[in-house]
C-alpha cells in the first residue's frame, strides 16, 4: 500500500469513514444530508432504481453500431488497476462517508497514477451499478441511494475541469454541438452528465441538459445547428416514445444531417435495436460515444 493510500486511510478513520456499512441509513451523515429509512416502493422509486441499474454511468451510449466503432483509447499501463475492493470501498463512502473523505479517496487514487478516464470508467461506473445492486438486495433504502447518487454527481462536478484538460485533450476547436439527454419518460441524470464530460473533453459544445424537457430540446435543435443528439434509454417502457422522438428530432432539426445516438443497457442486450429504432448507432462507453460521434459527423461533412 502506497504512502498516499495510508494517509487516506488514516484521515478516513479520523472523519468516521471507517464505520462498517450496515446496509441501512437511519442517521444523518457528516455533511448534513438526511438518510432516513424510507418505505416508498413505487412510482419515482422504481424509476430511479431502473435508472441506477441500467445507466452504468458513462455507458449512456452502449452496444454496437452496424459499422465498427473507432478503437478504444489504451489505458495507462503504468498506473495500478482499479480493484473490486476500491469500488466496494468507494460505494460505501458514497453511502456513509463525508464529502471530504470521498474526495481524498479519489485524490489518493490519482496520486497513485490512476487517470481520471480510468476513474470515470472503472470506479464511478461500477459504483453506480453497486448502488443499484444494494437497493435491489434491500441493503440500502431509497433515501440512501439518492444521497449516494448526489455525492457521485458532486465527484463529477469537482473533477470535470481536470478531466476535460487531462492529456491536453480539451478545446480542440471542432465547433461541433451536441445535446445529451434522457429519453422521453426517463428520469435518470448521471448518464447524460457523465457522457457530456467526455464530449466536452473532445472539444464539443454541449447544449441543453438532462433537466430540460423534450419540447425544450426540440426548440433548441430547431434554433441551433446541432451535430449530434444523444438519448439515454434504461426502461423498456420508454422505447415506443423514443422511437417516436427520433423522427420528431430530425424534422425539427436545423441540421438535416443531425446524427442521433441511443444508449443504455437495453442496447447491450439488443445491439441492433438502436438502428431499428431509427438512430445512427451507439458506442461502448462515454469515451467511445464521443469518438463515434466525431466519426459520424466527419462522414456527413465530406458528403
Residue pLDDT tens, the chain, 303 long:
444 444 444 444 444 433 333 444 333 333 333 233 333 333 444 444 344 434 433 333 333 333 343 344 444 445 688 999 999 999 999 999 899 999 999 999 999 999 998 998 899 988 988 887 888 788 888 888 889 988 988 898 888 888 877 755 554 556 899 999 888 887 666 778 888 888 988 889 998 876 678 888 899 999 999 999 999 887 788 899 999 999 999 999 999 999 999 987 788 778 799 999 999 998 877 888 899 999 999 988 754
Lookup: cell for 86: 476500491
Strand 205-207 relative to strand 177-182: parallel, antiparallel, unpaired?
Answer: parallel
HSE on the CB side for 176, CA within 13 Å? 27
> Are residues 289 and 208 located together in one domain of the fold?
yes
**Measured at the alpha carbon of residue 176, what is the angle toward residues 173 and 178, in degrees to the nearest 5?**
135
Residue of 287, 282, 292, 291 whose CA lies nearest to 57: 287
Residue 99 resides in a domain: yes
Q: What is the count of structural domains for the chain?
A: 2
> Are residues 11 and 82 located together in one domain of the fold?
yes
**Partners of 261 in beta bridges:** 230, 281
Residue 21 resides in a domain: no
> Are residues 89 and 112 located together in one domain of the fold?
yes
Residue 27 resides in a domain: no
> Are residues 155 and 242 located together in one domain of the fold?
no
pLDDT in tens, 161-217: 888 777 555 545 568 999 998 888 876 667 788 888 889 888 899 988 766 788 888
Predicted pLDDT of residue 50 = 42
d(CA 60, CA 55): 6
> Are residues 50 and 104 located together in one domain of the fold?
yes
> Are residues 120 and 264 located together in one domain of the fold?
no
Q: Collapse the DSSP code of 27 into the 3-class scheme (helix H, G, I; strand E, B; otherwise coil) and give the result.
A: strand
Predicted pLDDT of residue 141 = 86
The range of the structural domain enclosing residue 181 comes to 177-301
Q: Collapse the DSSP code of 227 into the 3-class scheme (helix H, G, I; strand E, B; otherwise coil) and give the result.
A: coil
Instruction: Assign residue 218 the CATH number of its domain.
Output: 3.40.50.280
> Are residues 194 and 47 located together in one domain of the fold?
no
d(CA 165, CA 215): 33
Enter the DSSP assignment of 218. Answer: H
> Are residues 10 and 144 located together in one domain of the fold?
yes
* pTM value > 0.75: no
Predicted pLDDT of residue 232 = 86
Residue 24 resides in a domain: no
Predicted pLDDT of residue 173 = 53
Residue 236 resides in a domain: yes
d(CA 142, CA 51): 13
> Are residues 151 and 208 located together in one domain of the fold?
no
Residue 30 resides in a domain: no
Predicted pLDDT of residue 117 = 87
Predicted pLDDT of residue 70 = 39
> Are residues 138 and 206 located together in one domain of the fold?
no
> Are residues 272 and 181 located together in one domain of the fold?
yes
Lookup: cell for 45: 422509486
Strand 34-35 relative to strand 27-28: parallel, antiparallel, unpaired?
Answer: antiparallel
> Are residues 81 and 195 located together in one domain of the fold?
no
pLDDT in tens, 53-85: 344 333 333 333 333 433 444 444 456 889 999
Residue 263 resides in a domain: yes
Residue 240 resides in a domain: yes
Amino acid at each position: 500500500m502506497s504512502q498516499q493510500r495510508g494517509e487516506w486511510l488514516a484521515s478516513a478513520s479520523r472523519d468516521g469513514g471507517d464505520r462498517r456499512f450496515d446496509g441501512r441509513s437511519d442517521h444523518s451523515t457528516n455533511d448534513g444530508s438526511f438518510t432516513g429509512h424510507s418505505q416508498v416502493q413505487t412510482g419515482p422509486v422504481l424509476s430511479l432504481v431502473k435508472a441506477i441499474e441500467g445507466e452504468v454511468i458513462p455507458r449512456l451510449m452502449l452496444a454496437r453500431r452496424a459499422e465498427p466503432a473507432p478503437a478504444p483509447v489504451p489505458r495507462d499501463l503504468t498506473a495500478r488497476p482499479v480493484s473490486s475492493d476500491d469500488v466496494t470501498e468507494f460505494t460505501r463512502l458514497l453511502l456513509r462517508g463525508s464529502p471530504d473523505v470521498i474526495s481524498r479517496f479519489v485524490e489518493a487514487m490519482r496520486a497513485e497514477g490512476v487517470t481520471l478516464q480510468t476513474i470515470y470508467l472503472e470506479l464511478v461506473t461500477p459504483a453506480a451499478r453497486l448502488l443499484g445492486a444494494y437497493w435491489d438486495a434491500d441493503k440500502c433504502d431509497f433515501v440512501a441511494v439518492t444521497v449516494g447518487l448526489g455525492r457521485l454527481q458532486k465527484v463529477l462536478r469537482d473533477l470535470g475541469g481536470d478531466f476535460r484538460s487531462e492529456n491536453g485533450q480539451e478545446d480542440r476547436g471542432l465547433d461541433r454541438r451536441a445535446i445529451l439527454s434522457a429519453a422521453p419518460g426517463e428520469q435518470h441524470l448521471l448518464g447524460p452528465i457523465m457522457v457530456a464530460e467526455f464530449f466536452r473533453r473532445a472539444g464539443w459544445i454541449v447544449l441543453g441538459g438532462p433537466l430540460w424537457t423534450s419540447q425544450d430540446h426540440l426548440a433548441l435543435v430547431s434554433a441551433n445547428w446541432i451535430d449530434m443528439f444523444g438519448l439515454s434509454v434504461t426502461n423498456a417502457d420508454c422505447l415506443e416514445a423514443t422511437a417516436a422522438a427520433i423522427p420528431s428530432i430530425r424534422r425539427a432539426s436545423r441540421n438535416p444531417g443531425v446524427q442521433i445516438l441511443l444508449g443504455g443497457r437495453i442496447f447491450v442486450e439488443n445491439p441492433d435495436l438502436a438502428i431499428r429504432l431509427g438512430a445512427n448507432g451507439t458506442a461502448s462507453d462515454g469515451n467511445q460515444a464521443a469518438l463515434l460521434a466525431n466519426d459520424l459527423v466527419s462522414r456527413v461533412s465530406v458528403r
